[in-house]
Amino acid sequence: MLEQREMIQINKSGWDKVADQFFEGSFDILDYGDYAPTEEELHLLGQIEDSIILEVGCGSGHTLEYLAKRGARELWGVDLSSSQINTAKEVVSNLGTPVTFIESPMEDIPGLPDSYFDKAVSIYALGWTVNLQKTLSNIHRSLKLGGTLVFSWEHPVHSVVEYANEQLRFRRSYVIEGFEKHDSWRGTPIVMQYRKVSTFINELINAGFVIDKIIEDSTFDDNDTSNSSEWYSNAKARMIPSTLIIKCHKV
């Protein structure tokens, strides 16, 4: 049985290897995920200008760049991967907004200040955590009272369904949670966590958040004939949401 710290270590090495494959993103829009509505459509973050914002799992820094270009006063980015943090540092280097980076697992973030942030955001990163309870309590502690957390993650139903032989089928149970070690995810070992939607909601409530909005909308296009065997495809998005987006605030 893998221990949590071993999983974090495997994922750190994995993300250091695959980081280049994830060097993407745009500062024109804030993309919550493939086939998901954008921040420009949803307006979940509210006022960015003059805000102090934390990004959990900041990857190559494009969301930080997006926030800086919209007038954030101060930004912090946390990520496990040295290679992602190094890229993110370059991406934000000439923006004129102070950005503090912490290279650390989100399960235990040394140096993260208490009651400091107006907002926290996390795009397709939070679900990597091996300890959702600890991660959410770290974020909760770091937010000011009333501070907002907005995160997106692969929809837990999407994660367990695959397209095969022109049909969607369950590749694993939705109700049995837990981790799965993949020996060659994009060519490297990685450990993924499977959680139900209710687990995310209940853990947010346990951490002291009030949920404002849950979004499961899917932006499929009837004229899209792209390859339906891709993990994210129009055919799949037509039947199940690709992405779960939750907005909540600290009380």
Is residue 230 classed as helix, strand or coil in its secondary structure? coil
Q: Is residue 88 within the footprint of ligand SAM (CB under 6 A)?
A: no
Provide the minimum distance between the beta carbon of 57 and ligand SAM in the complex, in angstroms, as a whole number: 3
Count the neighbouring beta carbons within 10 Å of the beta carbon of residue 210.
Answer: 11
Among 10, 25, 153, 248, binds ligand SAM (CB under 6 A): 25
Count the neighbouring beta carbons within 10 Å of the beta carbon of residue 190.
Answer: 21
| DSSP symbols for 27-72 | SSS---STTS--HHHH--S---TT-EEEEES-TTSHHHHHHHHTT-
Pick the closest to residue 27 from 10, 48, 51 (CA basis). Answer: 48
Q: Amino acid identity of 34?
A: D
Q: Which two tokens stand for residue 13?
A: 């090495």
By CB under 6 A, the residues from 179 to 218 that bind ligand SAM are none
Provide the minimum distance between the beta carbon of 19 and ligand SAM in the complex, in angstroms, as a whole number: 7
Site string for ligand SAM, 112-151 (x = CB under 6 A): -----------xxx--xx----------------------
By CB under 6 A, the residues from 54 to 83 that bind ligand SAM are 57-59, 62-63, 78-81
Count the neighbouring beta carbons within 10 Å of the beta carbon of residue 86.
Answer: 16
- Residue count, binding to ligand SAM (CB under 6 A): 23
Maximal C-alpha separation, the chain: 51
Pick the closer one to ligand SAM by CB: 65 or 74. Answer: 65
Provide the minimum distance between the beta carbon of 164 and ligand SAM in the complex, in angstroms, as a whole number: 24
Provide the minimum distance between the beta carbon of 32 and ligand SAM in the complex, in angstroms, as a whole number: 9
What does the angle CA 91 – CA 92 – CA 98 come to, to the nearest 5 degrees? 165
Site residues (vs ligand SAM, CB under 6 A): 8, 11, 15, 22, 25, 57-59, 62-63, 78-81, 84, 105-107, 123-125, 128-129
